[in-house]
Structure 1
Amino acid sequence: MVMACALPCAGLAAEPQERTQLTMDSGRPRTPEQVAVRFEHALLGFRVLPEEQKIEGDATLEFIALDPLPRLVLELDHQLGIERIEIDGAALPPSAWRNPEGRLSIDLPQPLAKGERVRARIVYAGKPRVAQKAPWDGAFVWSKAPDGQPWIATSVQGEGCDLFWPCIDHPQGEPLVVEQRITVPAPLVAAGNGVLLGVDERDGWRTYRWRAQSPNTYAIALNIGPYEELRGEYRSRHGNTIPLHFWHLQGRGPQARELFGEFPLALDFFEQVIGPYPFADEKMGVVETPHLGMEHQTINAYGNDYEKDEYGYDWLLHHEFAHEWFGNQMTNVDWDEMWLHEGFGSYMQPLYLQWLRGDMEYHASLLKMRAGVANRFPLVSGKSQVVEAVYSDEIGPGHDIYFKGAWILHTLRGLIGDEAFFTSVRRLVYGRDDPAPGNFQPRYASTREFVDIVNDVTGRDYDWFFDVYVYRPALPQLLAERDATSLRLRWKTPDDLPFPMPVDVRVGGRVVTVPMDGGQGHVELPADTHYTLDPHSKLLRDLPHIDAYREDAAARAKAAREKAGEEK
C-alpha cells in the first residue's frame, strides 16, 4: 500500500454506509472450516453497471478438504444480496446458507471426507461499498475520466476481498488459480490480473477473460476505463522474455510513454539485486487509476499523475512494483507481519537510487524516511492482527512498517555485509538461494523465518538484533561519556535487552569500529580531539533532535488546523 495521498481522491460517497466490523476487518483468524480447505480455483464473473454503481457477481469456487468438512465458510459483504448457491451443480435451499454479518456459512448436502473436492457457485448482486478515500479506505471508486466516460477501480487491502467477491479474507486464503470474466459496457476496457485469454463482444457489452496464478486475495482487482494500451517486451538477464503492459487514459500518451520507459530499468534493478521477476510468464502490468495506487499482482494500480520526485523517478510506480516480490511472491503469514511487505518494499527505493546514482541519494532518501519514524508500537506484536490495526498510527505501528522497517534493513545490511544480507533476502523471497525462472512458487513467510535465515546465512545468532528493533517500540540509545583519555560507550535498550551492536566512531581523521561486547565499549580519545558517533549513519538509534523535530512539526500542524477552523 502507498504511504500518503498525493491527489484528490475521487468517487466519494455522499453518506456513510452501513458496515459490520467483520466485513471491515481483514485478516481475522480463519475459522476451523477455512483452515480445513485448500482453495484450488476461483472463477469470478463480474458484470459492472457504471450508471447504477452496481455489480452482478457469479463466483464458482473449488476447494479440497484437508480434514472432514461439514460446511464451507467464506466472507462476503452482506450488502451484496445472494440470489442462489449451488454445490457441485445442485441448487441449495435458502435455509442452507446464512450471511448475517458478512461471514457466509454454507451447509453441504453431504459432509466431505479428507481429500474430497467441492465446487460452490454463488450468484449475488448489489451496490458494493464506495471508497471514501481510496486506497486507504477500501472499496469501489466510481469516477469519470476527463472525457466523461466511466473510470472505475477497486482497492481493498484494508477491508479485504469480501467487499466484492466471496473469499477467505486472510493472507493465507489465496486461491491457486483465479479466472475473471469482467463484463463492461463497450467500448470500455477491463485490465486484469494475469494473462488475457480473450475478449468477447455482444449486444453492446465486452467480456474480458483473465487468468492469474496464486494471487493475493486483496490483489484481485477491477480496473475499468477508456484505456489505451502500451506494449513491449523485456529481455531478462535470466534468459526469459517478460511482457510489458501499461493501460493509460486516452489523451495521456506522451506522459505514459515516458513512464513506460522506466519499466525495463526497474525490472533490471530488481532482477539483479533481488532475483527473477516472479510473474514473468504472465506480465509486468500497470494500469492508471482514479486513486493513488496499490500492489495488485501483475496489474499494479497507478494514480500518481506522472509526477516525479526530487530524485527524478516515479517513486509510486517503483514502490508498488516492489510488492511483486515483497507481498505477492512472498506473502506474510499474518497481517501482524506486514513490515515484511512494506518495510522491504520501502527499502527498495533508496536501494534503487544507490544502484542507479550512488550513495548520496541513497542516504538522502533514508534520511527523509528517518524523520517519519514514531516508535510508539512494535513492528510485530506477536499476535494475529487485522490490517486496519497494523496500518493505524494510533493503535498500531502505522507508518513505522514502512520507514522503520526500511531503516532496520539498512542497519542489518551494514551489520552483516552485502553478501549475507542479499542472500538472506533472496532466500526469504524465493525459499532458496538460487532462484531461476520456473524453479520457485509464491510462498508465505514470517519474521521468525527471516531471523532464522539470517542466523543460518551468517552462522551467528542475531536474535538480539530483531528482539530490540522489531519486537520493541523504543529505539536503543547510544550513551557516550568522555574522560581525559577515552570515550566510553554504552547501549541502553528497552527491558535491558542485550545489544552488542558495533559502533563506528570518527576520531579526528580516522574511523574506529568499537566492538561493544556486552553492549559496552571504549575508544582512546586524546584531549581536545573531536569525535563523531556513527559518522556514516549506519545505525538506527534514538536521536533526540529527530524527536524534537517531530514534536515541533506536530504542534505546528495542529496550530494550522485550528487556525483554519477559526477562519471558517
Structure 2
Amino acid sequence: MKFVKILLVLLGLTPAFAQAQLMTTKQKYTRADTLRGMLTPLRTCYDINYYHLDVKFDIAKKYISGSNQFKFTATEDFNKLQFDLFDNLKVEKVVYKGTEVPFTREFNAVFVTFPQTIKKGAKDEFTVYYSGNPITAKNAPWDGGVVYTTDSLGRPFVATACQGLGASVWWPNKDHQADEVDSMLISISVPKGLTNVSNGRLRKTTDLKDGYTKFDWFLGSPINNYGVAVNIGNYAHLTDSYAGEKGKLSIDYWVLNYNAVKAKKQFDANVKPMLKAFEHWFGPYPWYEDGYKLVETPFLGMEHQSAVAYGNAYGNGYLGQDLSGTGWGLKWDYIVVHESGHEWFGNNITSKDIADMWIHESFTDYSESLFIEQQYGKQAGLEYNFGLRKGIDNDAPIVGPYNVNKEGSGDMYPKGSVLLSMIRTIINNDAKWRDILRGLNQTFGRKTVTYEDITGYIAKQSGINLLPVFDQYLHYKSLPILNIESINGKLYCRWIADAQGFTIPVKIRVKGGEWKFVSPTARLKPLEVAGLTKDNIEVDTFNYYIGTLIE
C-alpha cells in the first residue's frame, strides 16, 4: 500500500486527513495499544490452524452478522485466551463443545475462559458469534474499515480494507501478524444479484431463501489477517493463465461489468510482464494453489492475498502521476505492479510486528524499479529509483515502536527502496543480489519474520557486514555523511554516522574520470586516488544515498 503523503500531494487533500490510521505520528501509547500490539501469554498459548468465517452483509443497514470458527493447537497448557474484535461490535456468544462459555472484554480484546485446562499439543476449537455496524472507512485504504458506496450506475459497491487498523475491525480473530492461519474458508452472504469475491478459490455459490446468496471461498495457504478481504459488487469475471516457474498459474479478473473491455486491455498489458519480472527476481509466485486475482474496488488498492484490490481507474502511473518524476512511472500501471509485489513481500514474507512494516513496503517499493529494469533495462530502473528520493522526508526512523501496533515513518517506501538499490551497488554482483532476493522468499516464505531475520540473512549471504548499514538507514532519520577534508594539500575522508561501526565502500573519481572504490571508516584516512583534489572530486551520489561534506 502506498503512503499517505503521496495522496495528499496528488489530490490536494486537506490536513484533516492526517487523522488516518497509517503513517501518522503518535507519541503516547495506551493499554489498548498494548493489548492489540503485544504477544502476551494469552495469545501465544494457541496457534491458529483454521478459520471458517461466515458473515452476512446487510448493505442497506451497513450491518454484519455471523460467526468465526477458530481451530487451533495449544502451545502450552491453558484455560484462558485472547482473541480480538472491535468493541463497537457485539459478541453474541462464544461456543465451546456445544456450550456457551464465559468471556470478558477490555477495549478491543476479548478473553475467553474454558471449563477445563486445554493441554499442550491438543487440537481444539471454539466459535464466536457476533454482529454490529463495523467502522465505515472514510478514506480507505489508509483509515481502515468497510467501504460502503455505489458504482457509477448507483448499484452497491462494498469492500473491506484494514491494514494497520486491524482485521478485528470487522471480524473476530487473533489479530496479530505473528500468527497466520494455515487455511481458511470465507463464506460471505450478500443480497441477491450481487457477487462477493474473496481470497483463494470459489468453492460454492448457494442461493439462500432469504433473498441472499452465499459465496464460499477457500484459501489453502497461510494468510495475514489484514489480507482477508470482502469485495461486493456487480462483477464480470474474466479469466486467463500464465506459464510460470511452477507451471500453469490461473489468472482471474473481477471487475465492474461495464469496465470489462478496458480492464482486459489494461491488465493484459501489465499483469504477465509483472509476473515474469517478479518470478525472475523473487522466485515463483507464492500462491499457485490459490491463483492470482485482481478485483476492482472502490478504493485505490491493497495487497489482499490472491485477491489484489485494484482501483487505479485502468490507467498508468499512480492515479495518472509518476512518483519518480522521471517519466518511467507512466509506462505501467502502478497499482497492478506495486500491490502484486506484496504477494512476495507482505504476504509470502510477513513481519511479526507492524513496527517492521518496512519489510513489506521497502522491498515492494523496490520491486517497481526491478520491474522497470526487466522491461526497459537496468539504467531505467536506477533512474526511477533515484527519482523516488524526492518523496523522502528523513523525518523519523523507518522502524516503528514494537508491541503497540505502530509502524514507522512513511520513508519506508522511497527511502527503503533507495536503500535496497544502494545495497545492490555495495554487493556489486547482480547475480548474487538476485539469489539473495529469491533466497529470502525461499527461506522465509509463508512465515512471519523479524528485523533480524531479514537483515541477518542479507548480510550473511552477501558476505559483507551490512548490519550497520541497515541500522543507520532504518533506525535513524539522518543520512550518513561522507566527510572529505583537505589537510596540507592532501585529501582525507571518513564517515560521520549514528550507527556504530558504519562503513560502506563508496565510489569516487576525478570529475569525468573512472570511478574508484574507496572504503572510509569513522577515522580520517587518506584518499589514495591520483590527481584528486578538493575542487575536482566527484562522489557517486546517484547510486549512494548519502550526504557529503567537503572541507
Equivalent pair of 2:67/2:127 in contact (CA under 8 Å): yes
Cα deviation, residue 304, structure 1: 1.1
1:550 paired residue number: none
SS of aligned partner of 2:345: coil
2:134 paired residue number: 128
Q: Distance in 1 between matches of 2:223 and 2:425?
A: 34
Cα deviation, residue 25, structure 1: 8.0
Where do 1:462-481 residues align within 5 Å?
462-481=466-485
Equivalent pair of 2:472/2:498 in contact (CA under 8 Å): yes
Cα deviation, residue 164, structure 1: 1.1
Q: Distance in 1 between matches of 2:486 and 2:442?
A: 48
Equivalent pair of 1:155/1:221 in contact (CA under 8 Å): yes
523, 528, 539: which one aligns with 2:544: 539
2:338 equivalent to 1:319:
yes
Considering only aligned residues, what root-mean-square deviation do their CA atoms show, in Å?
A: 2.5
1:146 paired residue number: 152
SS of aligned partner of 1:510: coil
Render the CA deviation track for 1:531-554: whole Å, top value 9, x for unaligned: 32106x11111379xxxxxxxxxx
The one-letter amino acid paired with 2:313 is D
425, 430, 445: which one aligns with 1:414: 425
SS of aligned partner of 1:511: coil
Structure 1 residues 493 and 526 mapped into 2: Cα distance closer, same or farther (>3 Å)? Answer: closer
Identity percentage over the alignment?
27
Q: Distance in 1 between matches of 2:279 and 2:201?
A: 21
User: Which is further off, 516-525 or 368-377?
Assistant: 516-525
Cα deviation, residue 471, structure 1: 2.4
Equivalent pair of 1:378/1:472 in contact (CA under 8 Å): yes
2:312 equivalent to 1:304:
yes
The one-letter amino acid paired with 1:86 is V
444, 451, 454: which one aligns with 1:447: 451
Cα deviation, residue 254, structure 1: 2.5
2:408 equivalent to 1:431:
no
SS of aligned partner of 1:371: helix
Cα deviation, residue 521, structure 1: 4.5
Cα deviation, residue 527, structure 1: 6.6
1:215 paired residue number: 223
2:391 equivalent to 1:372:
yes
Q: Distance in 2 between matches of 1:308 and 1:24?
A: 38
Q: Distance in 2 between matches of 1:500 and 1:21?
A: 38
Render the CA deviation track for 1:506-531: whole Å, top value 9, x for unaligned: 32432232422434441232679733
Aligned length: 515
User: Which is further off, 134-143 or 81-90?
Assistant: 81-90
Q: Distance in 1 between matches of 2:235 and 2:33?
A: 31
2:255 equivalent to 1:251:
no
Structure 1 residues 91 and 178 mapped into 2: Cα distance closer, same or farther (>3 Å)? Answer: same
1:2 paired residue number: 2
Structure 1 residues 88 and 294 mapped into 2: Cα distance closer, same or farther (>3 Å)? Answer: same
User: Which is further off, 261-270 or 416-425?
Assistant: 416-425
Cα deviation, residue 275, structure 1: 0.1
The one-letter amino acid paired with 1:371 is K
Structure 1 residues 355 and 336 mapped into 2: Cα distance closer, same or farther (>3 Å)? Answer: same
> Unaligned regions of 5+ residues in structure 2, if any?
21-28, 318-326
1:384 paired residue number: 402
1:229 paired residue number: 237
Q: Distance in 1 between matches of 2:366 and 2:463?
A: 24
The one-letter amino acid paired with 1:197 is R
Where do 1:9-408 residues align within 5 Å?
28-92=37-101, 96-203=102-209, 204-212=211-219, 213-236=221-244, 238-261=245-268, 262-309=270-317, 310=327, 311-380=330-399, 383-387=401-405, 389-390=406-407, 396-397=408-409, 399-408=410-419
1:503 paired residue number: 506
Structure 1 residues 508 and 515 mapped into 2: Cα distance closer, same or farther (>3 Å)? Answer: closer
> Unaligned regions of 5+ residues in structure 1, if any?
391-395, 433-440, 545-568
2:324 paired residue number: none
1:461 paired residue number: 465
Q: Distance in 2 between matches of 1:249 and 1:79?
A: 31
The one-letter amino acid paired with 2:2 is V
SS of aligned partner of 2:455: helix
TM-score (norm 1): 0.85
The one-letter amino acid paired with 1:267 is L
Q: Distance in 2 between matches of 1:486 and 1:419?
A: 38
Render the CA deviation track for 1:358-389: whole Å, top value 9, x for unaligned: 244323322231122222322225x51444x3
TM-score (norm 2): 0.88
SS of aligned partner of 2:92: strand
Render the CA deviation track for 1:406-438: whole Å, top value 9, x for unaligned: 111011000012233222222222207xxxxxx
Cα deviation, residue 500, structure 1: 2.8
Equivalent pair of 2:56/2:65 in contact (CA under 8 Å): yes
Q: Distance in 2 between matches of 1:144 and 1:24?
A: 34
Render the CA deviation track for 1:39-91: whole Å, top value 9, x for unaligned: 01100001001111100121111111110111121001121112222102223
Equivalent pair of 1:25/1:158 in contact (CA under 8 Å): no
1:564 paired residue number: none
The one-letter amino acid paired with 1:69 is F
510, 513, 516: which one aligns with 2:516: 513
Q: Distance in 2 between matches of 1:222 and 1:25?
A: 28
1:560 paired residue number: none
Q: Distance in 2 between matches of 1:154 and 1:68?
A: 36
Structure 1 residues 532 and 59 mapped into 2: Cα distance closer, same or farther (>3 Å)? Answer: same
Q: Distance in 2 between matches of 1:527 and 1:64?
A: 67
Q: Distance in 2 between matches of 1:27 and 1:272?
A: 37
Cα deviation, residue 117, structure 1: 2.4
Cα deviation, residue 257, structure 1: 0.7
Q: Distance in 2 between matches of 1:38 and 1:527?
A: 62
Cα deviation, residue 31, structure 1: 2.2
Equivalent pair of 2:73/2:124 in contact (CA under 8 Å): yes
Structure 1 residues 490 and 80 mapped into 2: Cα distance closer, same or farther (>3 Å)? Answer: same
Equivalent pair of 1:333/1:446 in contact (CA under 8 Å): yes
Equivalent pair of 2:508/2:518 in contact (CA under 8 Å): no
User: Which is further off, 457-466 or 175-184?
Assistant: 457-466
